[in-house]
């Protein structure tokens, strides 16, 4: 640093006179070692003060040779070459960091570890520099506990074909993505986990995606509390969540998926527990279960789709306390691939109502079989405890499918195998018995007590 000064007053920088030189009576010069990313200097002559922040632009990408930390900074890191994190190296990104990637640049974690943990107040941004898309975050053969929390990942596209890059791609790796936003992809998924990867996807918002928002194959996936929406472009037509060939049954809980071009949730040869999800406004199916899969569906609300739940190709599904309303078809069991046979299903404590073509469609020619008990089905179905009475939703025209107090679904379900809570986490039962459908009748009342002075 250097400048002009009064010959009558000495300067101090950050409260110290050390290191200040005076080449002439009216000029000064100061040399210092930068100690962090954002270095603030306050220059004072006792009467006036001036401040300047000097940014240490120490990182633009490249291959890391040791553990590296990107410090919190008010200035973006401009990444003009791929970041490569090899085995034995950890890249830590502090809260508040913004990384602006040049066109087609990729953050590659190949055997190393990524820790990118922001906060709600200081999220980490992975974004583009200028108008061009970048290549996203790729984890390859990285079994360490990689974590992305409170981050925004945006404007990514596929730039590597083998393995393919997406918003976040994990191959034979472990990754947790939580409390983050992934958006604005071009011809690529938001999240893909493949080659035996372990994926934890928790409380994220994923939207404006030009392929599947979430795609997991051949490993384990725990997907909870996400809002996934607006994947209305791409070929083949995108599914909201696609699970295939899972080694361990996947867990899909508490998600809302909507405005998807194809299926909200698509399972192929993938066993799964699917609970407390709200799935709606998907162009094809709410849940598609095929290519022999075994699934349990509990406390799901599915509406405004072509087919609420499809069980096909010898897949087996058990549906407990689900509400399938205002779809074209509620539940359809059929053969999709020649020779595979139709699906099999057991339906308990559920509501199928207002589905415009059929509540339940069976491909009997290919072996479809179903058992329905203690359910409300608009079209009469044989089975113990079944009803055809209007379930009396509170406001179905406004998509409010909670039960009215006088609903025949209230207190009329079987307790055998009933879940301990409903889609909103309300404990069951609330009254004299368990309720049918995804919602347990439970209302909050506000009571005003007058103020009395005695």
Give, for 217, the enclosing helix (H) or strand (E). strand 214-217
If you average pLDDT over residues 350-373, what whole number do you get? 98
pLDDT for the residue 364: 97
Torsion angles phi and psi, residue 413, rounded to 5? -85, 165
Contact 150, 117 (CB under 8 A): yes
Position 454 pLDDT exceeds 60? no
The residues pairing with 153 across neighbouring beta strands, listed in sequence order, are: 126, 182
If you average pLDDT over residues 37-61, what whole number do you get? 91
pLDDT for the residue 55: 86
CA 435 to chain centroid = 30
Contact 78, 129 (CB under 8 A): yes
- Cα separation, 237 vs 251, in Å, equals 24
Percent of the chain with pLDDT over 70: 98
Position 57 pLDDT exceeds 90? no
Burial (0-12, 13-18, 19+ Cβ within 10 Å), 358: middle
Q: What residue has token string 């709600």?
A: 120
pLDDT for the residue 104: 97
Residue with more model confidence, 83 or 270 = 83
Position 413 pLDDT exceeds 80? yes
pLDDT for the residue 159: 93
Q: Which two tokens stand for residue 33?
A: 């070692």
pLDDT for the residue 21: 93
Q: Is the dihedral of CA 178, 180, 183, 188 positive or negative?
A: negative
186-203 pLDDT per residue, tens: 999 999 999 999 999 999
Q: How many residues are recorded in the chain?
A: 454
pTM of the model: 0.89
Q: Which of 29-38, 125-134, 215-224, 409-418 has the lowest mean pLDDT?
A: 29-38
Question: How many CB atoms sit inside 10 A of residue 337's CB?
Answer: 11
Helix (H, G, I), strand (E, B) or coil at 396: helix
11-42 pLDDT per residue, tens: 999 999 999 999 999 999 999 988 888 899 99
pLDDT for the residue 452: 65
Helix (H, G, I), strand (E, B) or coil at 364: helix
Domain boundaries, the chain: 2-55, 62-260, 263-454
Across all residues in the chain, what is the average pLDDT? Answer: 95
Percent of the chain with pLDDT over 90: 89
If you average pLDDT over residues 235-253, what whole number do you get? 94
Position 387 pLDDT exceeds 80? yes
Position 243 pLDDT exceeds 80? yes
If you average pLDDT over residues 338-357, what whole number do you get? 97
Position 82 pLDDT exceeds 50? yes
Position 133 pLDDT exceeds 60? yes
């Amino acid at each position: 640093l250097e400048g002009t000064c009064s010959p009558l007053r000495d300067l101090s920088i950050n409260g110290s006179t050390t290191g200040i030189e005076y080449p002439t009576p009216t000029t000064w010069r100061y040399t210092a070692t930068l100690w962090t990313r954002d270095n603030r200097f306050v220059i004072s002559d006792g009467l006036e003060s001036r401040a300047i922040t000097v940014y240490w632009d120490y990182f633009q990408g490249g291959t890391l040779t040791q553990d590296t930390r990107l410090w919190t900074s008010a200035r973006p890191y401009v990444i003009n070459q791929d970041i490569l994190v090899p085995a034995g190296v950890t890249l830590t990104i502090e809260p508040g960091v913004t990384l602006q990637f040049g066109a087609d640049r990729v953050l590659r974690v190949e055997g190393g570890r990524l820790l990118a943990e922001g906060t709600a107040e200081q999220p980490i941004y992975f974004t583009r520099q200028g108008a061009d898309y970048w290549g996203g975050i790729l984890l390859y053969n990285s079994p360490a506990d990689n974590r992305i929390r409170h981050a925004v990942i945006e404007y990514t596209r596929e730039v590597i074909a083998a393995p393919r890059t997406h918003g976040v791609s994990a191959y034979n790796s472990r990754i947790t993505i939580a409390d983050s936003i992934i958006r604005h992809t071009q011809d690529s998924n938001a999240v893909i986990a493949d080659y035996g990867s372990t994926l934890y996807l928790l409380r994220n918002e994923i939207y404006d995606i030009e392929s599947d928002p979430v795609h997991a194959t051949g490993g384990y996936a725990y997907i909870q509390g996400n809002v996934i929406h607006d994947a209305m472009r791409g070929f083949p037509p995108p599914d909201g969540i696609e699970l295939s060939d899972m080694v361990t049954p996947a867990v899909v809980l508490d998600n809302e998926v909507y405005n998807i071009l194809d299926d909200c949730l698509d399972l192929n040869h993938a066993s799964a527990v699917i609970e407390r999800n709200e799935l709606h406004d998907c162009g094809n199916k709410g849940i598609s279960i095929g290519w022999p899969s075994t699934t349990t569906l509990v406390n799901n609300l599915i509406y405004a789709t072509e087919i609420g739940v499809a069980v096909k190709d010898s897949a087996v599904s058990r549906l407990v306390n689900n509400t399938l309303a205002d779809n074209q078809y509620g539940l359809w069991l059929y053969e999709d691939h020649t020779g595979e046979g139709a699906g099999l299903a057991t339906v308990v404590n559920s509501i199928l109502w207002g589905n415009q073509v059929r509540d339940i469609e069976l491909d009997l020619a290919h072996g479809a079989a179903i058992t329905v008990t203690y359910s409300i089905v608009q079209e009469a179905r044989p089975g113990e405890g079944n009803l055809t009475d209007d379930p009396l939703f509170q406001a179905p025209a406004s998509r409010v499918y909670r039960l009215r107090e006088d609903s025949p679904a209230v207190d009329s379900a079987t307790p055998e195998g009933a879940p301990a809570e409903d889609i909103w986490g309300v404990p069951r039962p609330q009254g004299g018995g368990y309720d049918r459908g995804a919602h347990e009748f439970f209302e909050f009342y506000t009571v005003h007590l007058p103020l009395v002075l005695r």
